[in-house]
Amino acid sequence: MKEENKPFNDVIDHFNKIEGNAANVSKNAVKKLPKPLKYFGYFMAGFLSISILLMIILNLLQ
């Protein structure tokens, strides 16, 4: 295990091993995804953020 991904106590280490915590995933994992899956993720994140923004704006206009 790299030094930067080393858990700071036994509880976190247990959680990472048993529960499958995503804390050990590298930041470059998105670059390794297939293009259709990556674009779908970008679309969903954009759609979610635009939807929330529109709901806030429309709620303030009422």
Residue type present at position 48: L
What tokens were used for 37? 């899956």
pLDDT reading at 60 higher than 80: yes
Q: What is the pLDDT of residue 23?
A: 58
Ranges of H-type helices in the chain: 10-18, 35-61
Task: Please write the tens of the pLDDT for every residue from 5-54.
Answer: 676 777 777 777 787 666 556 666 777 889 999 999 999 999 999 999 99
Question: The pTM is what?
Answer: 0.52
Q: Please state the length of the chain.
A: 62
The pLDDT value given to residue 49: 97
Q: How many whole angstroms separate alpha carbon 6 and alpha carbon 11?
A: 12
